[in-house]
A and B are shown apart, each in its own frame.
Chain A
Amino acid sequence: AQSVTQPDIHITVSEGASLELRCNYSYGATPYLFWYVQSPGQGLQLLLKYFSGDTLVQGIKGFEAEFKRSQSSFNLRKPSVHWSDAAEYFCAVAGDSNYQLIWGAGTKLIIKP
């Protein structure tokens, strides 16, 4: 069965520092991978997605993610975080049914001033 693991429940980063959020997936075929962000009290917003092609994917708000098949990973990165990036980040993989996403538990990002 497909699964998504986000090993870090929360991460604290200083404003201006770089960020990497980890995501590992379990899926037999070529995965469709997503990163979403959820600000407090808000819905989820798609940051970026990988379906095929270039394994380094650029998203909105200055985020990027790299698909590494050998490591079953799709880590999210940002070179310099801003206080407004404080939110919860969810990694997801499309399941066998083409409309269902398997969600990770989320990583809460805390920004230190």
Chain B
Amino acid sequence: DARVTQTPRHKVTEMGQEVTMRCQPILGHNTVFWYRQTMMQGLELLAYFRNRAPLDDSGMPKDRFSAEMPDATLATLKIQPSEPRDSAVYFCASGTGTSGIETQYFGPGTRLLVL
């Protein structure tokens, strides 16, 4: 049963520290999505990759967030420096099809707490 994996599952850090979240998409999926989920804002799309190319990162605060896909098996989301308002659950999802939203598979998420 193919799954999207995310590490770490939980992260507690102090304000100003760098945070790196990793995602392994399902083998063969050509699209990757990064989402952030908070009680106040719900689900927000942070970044979208197709065939490893970043096509949309307009949902990310550019000054502190960055997303990359060094290879087809790894997507990363970095926050530097982290701030308390970044506390949220971050989900990675991968998909196939024209855009990938036709069938998105979500990872279990990284729960981030910035103190």
Contacts and interface: CB of A to CB of B under 8 A. Distances in A.
A42 B56 contact: no
Contact of B99 (A44, A90, A99): A99
B48 A99 contact: yes
A50 to B, nearest CB: 12
- Interface size, B (range): 20 to 34
B102 A43 contact: no
A105 B42 contact: yes
Nearest to A103: B43
A94 interface: yes
Contacts of A98: 98-99, 101
A106 interface: yes
Interface string B85-115: 0000001010000111111111111000000
Contacts, number: 50
A49 B91 CA distance: 20
B42 A97 contact: no
Interface of B is mostly: strand
A99 B103 contact: no
Interface residues of A, number: 21
A95 to B, nearest CB: 9
A99 B91 contact: no
Interface in B2-53: 4, 31, 33, 42-43, 45, 48, 50
A32 B109 CA distance: 25
A97 B56 CA distance: 10
Interface of B: 4, 31, 33, 42-43, 45, 48, 50, 55-56, 91, 93, 98-109
